[in-house]
Amino acid sequence: MKAVWVQNVKLYDPVSGLDGVPGEILLQEGKIFSAGGTITLQDTAGLELEIVDGKGLCAAPGLVDMHVHLRDPGFIQKEDIETGCRAAAAGGVTSLLCMPNTKPAIDTRETLRYVLDKGEKAAVRVYAAAAITKGLSDEGALCELEALYEAGAAAFSNDGRPVTDSGKMAEALRRAAALGAPVVSHCEDLYLSKGGLMHEGSVSRELGVKGVPRAAEECCTARDIALAAAYNVPVHICHVSTRNSAAMIREARARGVQVTGETAPHYFALTHEELRGRDADKRMSPPLREEEDRLAIIEALRDGTLQAIATDHAPHTLEEKACFETAPNGSIGMETSLAASITYLVKPGYLSLLEVLRLMSSSPAKLLHLPEGTGSLAAGAPGDVILFDPKETWQVDPEKLHGKSRNAVFKGRMLTGRVKMTFCRGKLVYQDA
């Protein structure tokens, strides 16, 4: 493998605090050999070199997306591990956590190994969340969490089919804590959300469709916080979308509860007003909320209540998304996540670019206990680096995206910030045409 010498870039490293410092990076044998000031000829002596001129670009650690649906096995007409990772690379994502709602579910060592082995051959690093219960069923027994962790599971989750049995959830939290593995919880009271197509509010009433109340998310969030507090164990709350969920997490953290949370770009960028056109690509779970929720999510990112930005990348076919009333929930987002975060957080002045990069790299890496150095430009860290232009403006065209599906929530929008090159394991895995 050739060593890669990246020259003339501005360095952003949320771990060391490098904040737009001019410098260079040397990638060697799949790792970062050096990142900082000028690389010397002595550093490169005897190396077969590929020189990359990054003039006008920023360099940062590869992004870590801790909430992705790759649909493989079982639903590969929507996405598969290879195509999902190709989309990830195009968005600057070099490590991802895939959810277990596949067919079969990731609830056995065999299915887990299928995913991880296939991920080894993909463009970026694939980590997997294993199921909490057999078949992701509320009636199912708890999975063999210890065996799954031993086989390589990075986390545990039932994703969109949350564990409603509080006793089972408590046991799962305790067992996962003993292993040092996070439990990633999709907080939704399925009884309250049943039949809902979008947020319950003025727009749902105007369209005459059943809505999903904030309480559907908030009841489950409160339950999981209570369990974490009662048993002194950690829990991670997925895709936080409401002001009250954010407030509960903030209050719980203030009194020492081990609760963390993430949100997705669409929750700090868009509101339920987007649904007036009855576009099923803008339907997801939890749904787009109201302006006060959007602003509350931004504040929760600003004050540290939420520790990560993830995408909940959820591909579906064109046929599935054709009808607003019957379409499944979910939108794709890995290729637009950095640009959306720059557009809706950095440009308005809510967060700095370095703060956004921390929420998208080093912080989720820490939450998932990924290998040391992930999300950093430190010497010896994984050779996962992105080069991007923070000022380039582009229009999201679903037909030009790199995965199988086209259900992009930001389609047609002008975004600022474009990934130009992505390196994973020291190898170029994406270059903007």
* Together in a domain, 263 and 178: yes
pLDDT confidence band for 351 (50 / 70 / 90)? very high
Give the CATH number for residue 35.
Answer: 2.30.40.10
Please check whether residues 48 and 150 belong to one and the same domain.
Answer: no
Residue 272: inside a domain, yes or no?
yes
Residue 372 lies in a domain: no
Percent of the chain with pLDDT over 70: 100
Judgement on whether residues 111 and 14 belong to the same structural domain of the protein: no
Give the pair of three-digit tokens for residue 290.
Answer: 């109201």
The reported pLDDT for the residue numbered 36 is 87
Rounded mean pLDDT of the chain?
A: 97
pLDDT in tens, 133-160: 999 998 899 999 999 999 999 999 999 9
Among 314, 340, 367, identify where a domain stops. 367
The tokens for 311 are 């995408």
pLDDT of 75 reads 98
Residue 117: active-site member: no
Q: Are 152 and 181 in contact (CB under 8 A)?
A: no
pLDDT tens digit string along 373-418? 999 999 999 999 999 999 999 999 999 999 999 999 999 999 999 9
Question: Bridge partners of 49?
Answer: 3
CA distances, 22 to each of 37, 42, 231, 278, 308 (Å): 7, 20, 47, 47, 26
| Domain that includes residue 316, residue range | 62-367
Residues 71 and 56 in one domain: no
Do 423 and 342 sit in the same domain of this protein? no
What average pLDDT does range 59-63 have in this prediction? 98
Rounded CA-CA distance 96/125 in Å is 6
Together in a domain, 127 and 268: yes
Segment 257-282 shows an average pLDDT of 98
Of 107, 189, 281, 312, the active-site residue reads: 312
Surface-to-core class of residue 320, CB atoms within 10 Å of its CB (0-12 exposed, 13-18 middle, 19+ buried): middle
Instruction: Record the tokens describing residue 3, joined without a space.
Output: 């060593």
High-pLDDT (> 90) share of the chain, %? 95
Which band of pLDDT confidence, cut at 50, 70 and 90, is reported for residue 1?
Answer: confident
Q: For residue 88, give the nearest of 74, 68, 115 by alpha carbon.
A: 68
- Same domain? 188 vs 333: yes
Listed range (33-47, 311-325, 362-376, 387-401) with the worst mean pLDDT: 33-47
Per-residue pLDDT averaged across 245-249, rounded? 98
| Shared domain check, 89 and 234 | yes
For 86-130, how does the pLDDT look when each residue is reduced to its tens digit (9 = 90+)?
999 999 999 999 999 999 999 999 999 999 999 999 999 999 999
CATH number at residue 301: 3.20.20.140
| 131 and 84 fall within a common domain | yes
End-to-end CA distance of the chain: 23
Specify the residue for token string 């708890």: 142
